């Protein structure tokens, strides 16, 4: 799934869309990627002399990837954070890195879902998080 197909599903737009391509997807799992470019808006202030992707944006990339999985059959719905559980940051992410994001659906209660995801660079864990989200239709 390319960026244009992703934009048909997610309500996010530049500069706040953090999924470039979906590599695999099913009803309960998804694998996607995000190429981290040197011209990303957040590097101007985080940090100018040593650019590092903010951890919270890695969590956002996990959430958006989960959103693609969950919303592809419910286009037009709005995913909303309810809770971020067990977020851990293990590796610095810099310009030129590629995040591989994998998300699994843990629980689906209709308008509330729980997902677990990881973001890796070269098979090295950069971030992991469990997220509760509401789906507003």
- Which residues are the active-site residues? 46
Cα R_g (the chain), whole angstroms:
14
Burial classification of residue 24, based on how many CB atoms lie within 10 Å of its CB (0-12 exposed, 13-18 middle, 19 or more buried)? exposed
What are the CA-CA distances from residue 16 to residues 13, 59, 60 (Å)? Answer: 6, 13, 9
Question: CA-CA distance, 32 to 1, in Å (whole number)?
Answer: 9
How crowded is the C-beta side of 102, counted as CA atoms within 13 Å?
7
């Amino acid at each position: 799934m390319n960026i244009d197909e992703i934009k048909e599903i997610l309500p996010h737009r530049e500069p706040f869309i953090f999924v470039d391509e979906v590599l695999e997807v099913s009803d309960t799992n998804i694998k996607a990627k995000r190429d981290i470019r040197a011209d990303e808006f957040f590097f101007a202030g985080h940090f100018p002399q040593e650019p590092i992707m903010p951890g919270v944006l890695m969590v956002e990339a996990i959430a958006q990837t989960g959103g693609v999985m969950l919303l592809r059959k419910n286009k037009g719905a709005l995913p909303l954070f309810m809770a971020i559980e067990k977020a851990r940051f293990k590796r610095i992410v810099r310009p030129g890195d590629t995040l591989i994001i994998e998300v699994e659906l843990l629980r689906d209660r209709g308008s509330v879902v729980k997902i677990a995801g990881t973001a890796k660079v070269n098979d090295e864990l950069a971030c992991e998080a469990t997220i509760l989200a509401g789906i507003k239709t």
